[in-house]
Amino acid sequence: MISEKIIVGEGTEYPLNGLLTLPDEAAQSGSADTSEKFPAAVFVHGSGPSNMDEKIYDNKPFKDLAEGLAERGIASLRYDKRTFVHGRKMAKDPAGITVREETVEDAVLAADLLRKDPRIDPEKVFIVGHSMGAMLAPRIDAEGGNFRGLIMMAATPFRLEEVVVRQLSQEGSKGGLIGFIVKLEDRIFSKKFDGLYEMSDEEAKKRKFAGSTTLYYFKEMGARTAVDYLKETGKPALMLQGGMDFQVLPEVDYKMLKEQLADRPGTEFRFYEKLNHMFMPGIYNDILKVQKEYKVPQHVAPEVMDDIAAFIKKYS
């Protein structure tokens, strides 16, 4: 495979380092005049600051995916998340930060970069979103991404604030002082969201949630869910879910996603009973040991890359 350094958003206020990964055939094809053009994918991170590999301890899901897809004849572009590089600068105006500034704009720029590369087929650019990136994938497509298809890894039909409150409740199941503190936080944060969608935008911008985040971040994102966007487009979509995922729950999120999209044409589902939220082998099958599990170096399962590659080739 070939890896080339690129910059997403070069010349803008928020340039981001990235890597374009291409199959070996790209080197053999030689010039820009070749007729061989590759399908490609843009990777979109989950929540929080993250580097281009989506590094979690010693695990690098996006690096695994990029290399695995290249071996299967598919190019990809991954890049540092804006909050990972420019978080301090962005925090100076927390009321002005939405997922559009944090994620959407850069994913659209990345897609445009791919389409301009002579080795990439501009009609065969896909989006691969993970976790919160999966929640945003249909919106990114609608707001300029213009992808051929959508791959959504660990997606949820719920709004972000609903997921946050639920995850706090799960953490609160821990015993002892830590569990007690988390339960208190859960009650406090749950109340913060009361009447969220009846608030004016200005009021929501004035109310802090945690750190530099305001309630407007949630209000703006929650105005339309991933399912709302998906139902407005006929583009093919692939939903992937791990059976040992304790952040996006198979018996709750995945089940509801399948129900809500049951009649949507071009929607495919893949379930991996023994994989976790990173689509790596689950180890403990215990919500209380998730962080411990993530510290174990692993790799994205080959069957996940097989399914993503097959989907991209099917719709290319």
Residues forming the active site: 131, 245, 277
Q: How many helices (H) and strands (E) does the chain have?
A: 14, 10
- Type of residue found at 83: T
Interatomic CA distance for residues 119 and 106, integer angstroms: 21
Interatomic CA distance for residues 5 and 264, integer angstroms: 38
182, HSE (Cβ side, Cα atoms, 13 Å): 16
Q: Which of 274, 276, 238 has its CA nearest to residue 257?
A: 238
CA pseudo-torsion sign 49, 54, 55, 59: positive
H-type alpha helices, the chain: 25-29, 61-71, 82-91, 99, 105-116, 132-140, 160-171, 176-192, 201-206, 215-222, 226-230, 255-260, 290-294, 302-314
Encode 182-209 in three state secondary structure.
Answer: HHHHHHHHHHHCCCHHHCCHHHHHHCEE
CA pseudo-torsion sign 300, 302, 303, 305: positive
Interatomic CA distance for residues 305 and 316, integer angstroms: 16
Sequential DSSP letters for 106-151: HHHHHHHHHHHSTTEEEEEEEEEEETHHHHHHHHHIIIII--S-EE
